[in-house]
A = this chain, B = another copy of it.
Amino acid sequence: MLDERKRQVLQAIIDDYISTAEPIGSRTIARKYGLGVSPATIRNEMSDLEALGFLEQPHASAGRIPSAKGYRFYVDCLMGPQQVSDSDTVLINQWFDQKVRRIDEAFQETVRVLSRVTQNVSLLLAPQAAACKFKYLQFLPFDETRVVVVIVTETGVMENRLMKIPEGTSTEELQRIAGAMNHWLSGLALPEIQTSLLEQIKDEVLPRPELLESAMALIREATSGASSGEKVYLGGTTQLLNQPEFRDVSKVRQLLSMLEEEQLLYDILHTQDGSGVIVTIGQENKCQGIQDCSVIQASFRLDGQTVGTLAVLGPTRMEYARTMAAIEFMQKHMEQILKKYQR
C-alpha cells in the first residue's frame, strides 16, 4: 500500500507530532530522522502522503500534521507494540494492595492510575450489577422501623441500603424472608429476577408480601438504578489542561460539560463489546462533540462474560502505543481483581 520510505516518513511525522504538537516540515524530518535523503525528497513524499489523505496542512505554508486516516494507518500498521515496564507493574500492584479494600475502590483507583499514566481523561464502566449474579441478601437490624439490606453479588459488588419495614415485623420473619429469597434467587443474574419469580416465593412469605415487595424494589434499583449498577467512574479531567489542544479555556469547558452528562459516557463506553483493545479516532466516534478526540477502550470479562469497560479519552494526537499498553495492562489487572473478589 505504501512503500517503505513513505511509511518511514509518515511514522516520523506522526511520532514527532505526537510529542511536539507542532506541524512538522521537511527539513525537520531530514535532520532529526536519518532517512538519508534531502528535504526536497521528503517534500515530495509528503506531498504524495497528503494527496493520499494521510497528512494535512493547517495552512498553505506550514508543515504537515497527521489526518485521522494517518493516525488510523499508524495504529494499524506502523506503530510498534509497547509494554508496561516490570517496575511499573510492581508499583501498581503495591499501590492496589495498599489502597484497595472494596471493589468499588478498585474501580476508583484504576481510573486514577490510568489517567496518571496516560496523561489523559479516563473512564470506567463498572461491573454492571445487571450482569452480576445474585449471591445472597441479608437484613441487618437498624432500629424499630428500618433495617439495613445488604446484597452481595458474585463479583463482590455490595449494595447496602436503609429500608423501611412494616411495623411490628419480627427478626424471625425477616430471616425467613431472606432465607426464602436466597434459596430461590441465588446464582441468578439480577435482571432475571423479575416478577415472574415473585410468584414462586410468594407462598413462603405470605404474611408479609409488602416486605418481599420492598426487597424486590431494592434489587430492581440495584439493577437499573442511577446510583448503582452501571456506575461510570471518571478521572483525570484536569489532565486535559496539560494538553496543548486545550490551551483555550472554552474548549476545555465544552468537553468537560459534555463529560458531565452521564448519558454520553455510557454512549462512549457502550459502543462495543468485542474483545481486545479498540481504538476510535476522531470522526470515527459516533458521539457528537468528541470528534476531535480519540478513545481507546477495552472491556474486561469475568467467566467469559463482559462485565465492564475501561477507556482513555484524549486528543487525536495521543500516544497510542503507550496508551494501548496501559489499557491492556489495566484490563488484565481488573480481571484479576474481579476474580479475587469473586470467590
Contact = CB atoms under 8 A, between A and B. Distances in A.
Interface of A: 99, 101-102, 105, 138, 140, 142-143, 148, 150, 152, 156, 158, 160-162, 221, 226-227, 237-238, 241-242, 246-249, 252-253, 256-257, 260, 341, 343
Contacts of A156: 162
B237 A238 contact: yes
A156 B99 CA distance: 23
A252 B241 contact: yes
Given A140-B152, A150-B140, A256 B238 contact: yes
B148 A158 contact: yes
Copies in the complex: 2
Contact of A257 (B99, B226, B238): B238
B260 A253 contact: no
A158 to B, nearest CB: 6
Contacts of A221: 101
B142 A152 contact: yes
30 contacts: A99-B226, A99-B227, A101-B221, A102-B160, A102-B161, A102-B227, A105-B227, A138-B140, A140-B150, A140-B152, A142-B152, A148-B150, A148-B152, A150-B150, A156-B162, A158-B160, A237-B237, A237-B238, A238-B253, A238-B256, A238-B257, A241-B252, A241-B253, A241-B256, A242-B253, A246-B249, A247-B249, A248-B249, A249-B249, A249-B252
A150 B105 CA distance: 16
A142, A143, A221, A249: most-surrounded residue (chain B CB, <10 A): A249
B253 A341 contact: no
A162 B341 contact: yes
B143 A150 contact: no
Pick the 10 closest A-B CB pairs, nearest first: A241-B253, A238-B256, A101-B161, A241-B249, A143-B343, A138-B140, A105-B227, A247-B249, A158-B160, A249-B249
A246 B152 CA distance: 45
Contacts of A253: 238, 241-242
Contacts of A241: 249, 252-253, 256
B162 A227 contact: no
A103 to B, nearest CB: 9
A109 to B, nearest CB: 9
Contacts of A99: 226-227
Contacts of A102: 160-162, 227
A215 to B, nearest CB: 14
A105 B242 CA distance: 31
Nearest to A102: B161
A241 B256 CA distance: 10
Nearest to A248: B249
Nearest to A226: B99
A256 B238 CA distance: 7
A120 to B, nearest CB: 15
A256 B249 CA distance: 14
A206 to B, nearest CB: 27
A227 B158 contact: no
Contacts of A260: 238
A160 B160 contact: yes
A158 B149 CA distance: 12
A320 B140 CA distance: 45
